[in-house]
Structure 1
């Protein structure tokens, strides 16, 4: 194995982390069939990500993590996306939820999560399908709860689950998240989908689970930048705006999928003609030149948009200032727009691929499906994000607290 994946050669620069992700691309492509068959990432992939430090991008440096910038997070995950969309998705979700665990909770909780010899791998779901919670002495009991789409749960040791925060009378007074051990969560093994199969995004449930007060955080406070991690107050990464961070990272795998789509299309191009035309070589057709030109422009535009916001999140956090409300709304708007550009570009290339796309063995078909499903996550849905920003621009409320 190459040196960048060897723990004896620590990855101490951002460039080395991105390079390590790039070097995994060929082997990730080779494991595509295994990933789809298993419905989760194979242990070999988890081992490779661990060895490269790519599941510790947001783990605090004081606990041995990489603690990278949002921009480096983007670059590393999008590189993984060139190899396998599911791997990039799991890396993005584990890292952002690990960031949430480091950011939202106090030093006592951080020591518990990150201080053990076992690497902390945190996953989570913000919105429950069902959650019945009772306030008790010292904390809360989740009497019954079910959460869907818990990406990466098969590789996690902690789970961050959205719950209503209630008072002693049972009245809901806030929305929050509860940090629980993955061993206390039941995985329902219901992930059977057409794309992003290797994310293992199964539903989970808990019954009569006690969560101490210190492992429950207010989302209302988090949205406004009131974080529990006062011990990390001088570290810019843990001052990044909450909802923009949770939203933007979902575009990181999509950028990698997009790059893989264009590369794969051009790689397959010399083998194809265009049916029912005089073109025996698709690469010679003007329509192909137009399709590639437009698709590549959209993909470059999407990347430029996401890079701009990643840099803005880093800069704002470094300045110690809270990101202005409308700027936060703009991140959500533009994540939705970037996803639109990516999907339009990939679909254009898929259309240019013709009937061969129906073959299950066609590598572009897998990319096409992954790109479509990646764009359907609720927090990146373009119409929802456009409406929220448009409402604010027109003097109305956003219609959601998640800004």
Structure 2
């Protein structure tokens, strides 16, 4: 097998990776098993119990859980490395791991100590998932909190393995006037999973829609999303812990590219592994590896994947450094993270698509490993937060002296 090495790390990043070598090594050890289970994962539409157990055993669902509650509390850079490695094995596993960890981070950062103890000190493992934008949410302000009379949320990734759901709701006054956008932490037992996840890519993520009817949420489990975006977190009990001072939207955006980066690496590895067995039909080349067009494709795609990795690593390290400094990341820098996440996603998709096209007619086979990588990469690139056109426009608006056109910066 031909392995694809990582870009050389800076000394600071190397130190971070060495400090958190445990989760990265463990993730790497899971890759063969994840590949072997990939068909089962896709068929189930969620992670198999064995995969959930493996992730729990290595603490990979708890990488962003505070250390005081038994979690890993790793750096954003280590988070990137671990999820990328899982993505080499199965994008659905990487996606669920990324989304669960980032929502665990939200639960730790956005809410106060009372909610944190409910979530992270219970008998069940803390696996928080969530959706910030509701399709429908009818909410009433009542004594001690909010009553969600009815609500529906789509694309609730990882919900089949969750113990808590963090769902976006409007925050209203006693007269029903919307004052703010909020998030409510709800035990998974009070959430109905609608089982409507039926897709062509990342199908094992179990990103079903969910609904809630007449659920009371106490004030302690309500957070202001607008305040979180500005870094005004309620988690004062975690003061001094830099991970929980990380800038909100850069964190929510960058983690969506981690599984895609793993897919890019997997696509190049898969192409090179199968290359010796392929020729180019209707040509003089009995060995595809001898064709200059193949060399061009491999050179271009490896450059795109390495460039995407460099972009994501640089921003992950900058996010970590900003949080460690105690100064919330500058607004324009936060917008730049969104811009560059979109660009990295574009590079990764272009690389995967080129490699898939160079695989020839065999891509039509549903059992071809490259086919699944290609489908997963396409779906991963469609998330609204990583949409390159929108992100480029947003950053361009700011450079031209206009408002961003979105609160999610």
Shift of 1:15: 0.4
- Aligned partner of 2:3 in structure 1 is none
- Aligned partner of 2:150 in structure 1 is 144
Please point out which of 98, 102, 112 is paired with 1:96. Answer: 102
CA deviations on 1:68-115 (whole Å, 9 max, x unpaired) are 000000011100000000000000000000000000010111111111
CA deviations on 1:221-250 (whole Å, 9 max, x unpaired) are 001000000000110000000011000000
Secondary structure in 1 matching 2:386: coil
Please point out which of 16, 21, 45 is paired with 1:15. Answer: 21
- Aligned partner of 2:6 in structure 1 is none
Shift of 1:13: 4.6
- Aligned partner of 1:8 in structure 2 is none
Shift of 1:117: 2.8
CA distance in structure 2 between the aligned counterparts of 1:197 and 1:190, rounded to whole angstroms = 11
Please point out which of 362, 367, 370 is paired with 1:356. Answer: 362
CA distance in structure 2 between the aligned counterparts of 1:117 and 1:312, rounded to whole angstroms = 36
- Residues 1:399 and 2:405 aligned together: yes
- Residues 1:233 and 2:250 aligned together: no
Secondary structure in 1 matching 2:279: coil
Where do 1:313-332 residues align within 5 Å?
A: 313-332=319-338
Q: Which 5+ residue runs of structure 1 have no aligned equivalent?
A: 1-11
- Aligned partner of 1:3 in structure 2 is none
CA distance in structure 2 between the aligned counterparts of 1:390 and 1:122, rounded to whole angstroms = 34
Please point out which of 178, 185, 189 is paired with 1:183. Answer: 189
TM-score by length of 2: 0.95
Q: How many residues align?
A: 392
- Aligned partner of 1:376 in structure 2 is 382
CA distance in structure 2 between the aligned counterparts of 1:141 and 1:118, rounded to whole angstroms = 25
- Residues 1:312 and 2:314 aligned together: no
Please point out which of 187, 198, 208 is paired with 1:202. Answer: 208
CA distance in structure 1 between the aligned counterparts of 2:50 and 2:253, rounded to whole angstroms = 29
CA distance in structure 2 between the aligned counterparts of 1:17 and 1:321, rounded to whole angstroms = 28
Greater shift in the superposed pair: 148-157 or 208-217:
208-217
Question: What root-mean-square deviation, in Å, do the aligned CA atoms of Structure 1 and Structure 2 show?
Answer: 0.8
Where do 1:79-90 residues align within 5 Å?
A: 79-90=85-96
Where do 1:206-217 residues align within 5 Å?
A: 206-217=212-223
- Aligned partner of 2:114 in structure 1 is 108
Secondary structure in 2 matching 1:228: coil
TM-score by length of 1: 0.96
- Aligned partner of 1:129 in structure 2 is 135
Q: Which 5+ residue runs of structure 2 have no aligned equivalent?
A: 1-17
Secondary structure in 2 matching 1:250: helix
- Aligned partner of 1:290 in structure 2 is 296
Q: Which runs of 4+ in 1 moved over 4 A?
A: none
- Aligned partner of 1:265 in structure 2 is 271
Shift of 1:119: 1.4
- Residues 1:243 and 2:249 aligned together: yes
